[in-house]
Amino acid sequence: MPQFRPKRSRFSQKHKSEGIRLADVLRSYSREFPRFAPQLSECIERVTTVAERSRQTDRVKVIAALREWEAGLGWRDIVEETGLSQWDVRQVLSELIKAELVRVRLELLPGINPTRWRKLYVLKA
């Protein structure tokens, strides 16, 4: 019978330490293979960004995007602006709505069907 490990948190200390360790290994490879150093440095940057990511940094990115676009953004627009996944954006938005930092505004979509609405998320002043 297979044993299952408990699911890890998305933002755990173990993820951070694994990311740092992987970045160190990639740095040693960039010294061994100097021709591929630019590609490896891009990979190192991505690994360290993901390793140091937290729910708080995601929140800061979403709030910054909403602050920049005062008229409001849909969740797809926020995904484009922040580079976060759809799931992460929806989680952060639900937390911000519960904390009453963001409100939802409905906007009527232009077109033939006058009953279609779009949800826009707006930062409360």
Map tokens 């729910």 to a residue: 55
pLDDT value at position 55?
81
- Which has the higher per-residue pLDDT, 4 or 70? 70
pLDDT value at position 1?
45
Map tokens 């949800």 to a residue: 119
Residue 12 has pLDDT above 80, yes or no: no
In sequence order, which residues have a C-beta less than 8 Å from that of residue 108 and are 6 or more positions away? Answer: 114, 116, 117, 118
pLDDT value at position 54?
77
Mean pLDDT throughout 71-91? 89
Confidence of residue 79 (pLDDT cuts 50, 70, 90): very high
pLDDT digits (tens, 9 = 90+) for 18-48: 888 888 888 888 888 889 889 988 888 888 8
pLDDT value at position 83?
86
- Rounded to whole angstroms, the Cα distance separating 39 from 101 reads 40
Residue 98 has pLDDT above 70, yes or no: yes
In the numeric block, which tokens belong to residue 1? 């019978």
Residue 4 has pLDDT above 50, yes or no: no
- Rounded to whole angstroms, the Cα distance separating 111 from 71 reads 20
pLDDT value at position 14?
63
> Could you say which architecture CATH assigns to the domain 55-123?
Orthogonal Bundle (1.10)
**Domain boundaries defined on the chain:** 13-51, 55-123
